[in-house]
Structure 1
Amino acid sequence: MDRLYENDPFSKGYSPESIVAAPARIAAHKRSSGDGPISLTSATFEQYVGASDLPIVIHFWARWCSVSKTMLPHFSASARELAGRALFAKVESDKEASLARRYGIECVPTLVVFGNGREIQRHCGAMTAGQLDLWLRPHLRKTA
């Protein structure tokens, strides 16, 4: 999906130093967050998605959507269960409307998997933790 990354991070106002420092911020966040999902904004999205060596699973959700809110505990459980094999993040679509528009989010919840800074899979609708684990299996980093 080339249209997703047609803008380079420097045109968004990120300095080369912030891009280089992103992997360290991701590692520090993983240590401090208990491996739960992180909240992304327009200001932090590119830094995480573009810098992670793990697949990133992003849950686009909305507070007004009961299905989105019901799925959050399942998403958090998968984040803890699959820590070290994928990075989990959430984007509140109403607060980050520009991100939702940029990635063509038409329903909530929507799950998007990114690998190497590119979208590789998308699912519209809720999933249990077990369903999410099965859906993600082909994209997870292999453990030693």
Structure 2
Amino acid sequence: MSEAVQLPCPTCGAVNRVPAARLADGPRCGQCKTPLFQGKPLALDEAGFRRHLHLSGVPLLVDFWAAWCGPCRVMAPEFEAAAKLLEPRLRLVKINTEEAPALSAELAIRSIPTLALFVGGREVARQAGAMRARDIAAWAERALAATPP
């Protein structure tokens, strides 16, 4: 029997248990029936980030950004393309630092865009600066491989 992982629904927030071996099979929320992975990053506020951070069994790759930031706007479509490359191994999310200043301060986000990878509720890697989709995916894969189980 495959180990199950918890996944908060990106639409209704319900926590779903999905066998790890079935993550790539297009699982749907047991409550609202929407896909648990949608091939694009989730825009989360601070509460949504904390919910996913503490309840998700899938690592989170977070893009900290702001609307006024030119490099952030350049990287946005690349981060979206990276979601198609990395899901369902990772959940990609976007946090607008202007809308979540307390979270940004708590996590010591000093420049944007900044990518941070969280596994098991803790940050395991960070990278500042705009990147292309394939570079985002390669960086995330390397960081995951270097993270002890």
What does 1:51-130 align with in structure 2 at a 5 Å threshold?
51-130=55-134
Which structure 2 residue ranges, 5 or more long, are not aligned? 1-12, 18-27
Distance 1:53 1:102, change over 3 A: same
Of Structure 1 and Structure 2, which has the larger fraction of its residues in helix? Answer: 1
Distance 1:22 1:118, change over 3 A: farther
Q: Distance in 1 between matches of 2:60 and 2:88?
A: 11
**Identity of matched residues, %:** 30
The reply to whether residue 134 of structure 1 matches residue 134 of structure 2 is no
The reply to whether residue 45 of structure 1 matches residue 37 of structure 2 is no
| TM-score, normalised with respect to structure 2 | 0.73
Q: Which residue of 2 aligns with 1:3?
A: none
**Which of 42-51 and 88-97 deviates more?**
42-51
| TM-score, normalised with respect to structure 1 | 0.75
| RMSD over equivalenced CA pairs, Å | 2.3
Structure having greater relative contact order (Cα 8 Å, sep ≥ 6): 1
Of Structure 1 and Structure 2, which has the larger fraction of its residues in strand? Answer: 2
Q: Which residue of 2 aligns with 1:23?
A: 15
Count of residue pairs the alignment pairs up: 120
Distance 1:95 1:52, change over 3 A: same
State the 1:30 CA deviation. 7.4
Contact 2:61 2:118 in 1 (8 A): yes
State the 1:24 CA deviation. 2.5
Contact 1:22 1:48 in 2 (8 A): no
Runs of 4+ in 1 over 4 A off after TM superposition: none
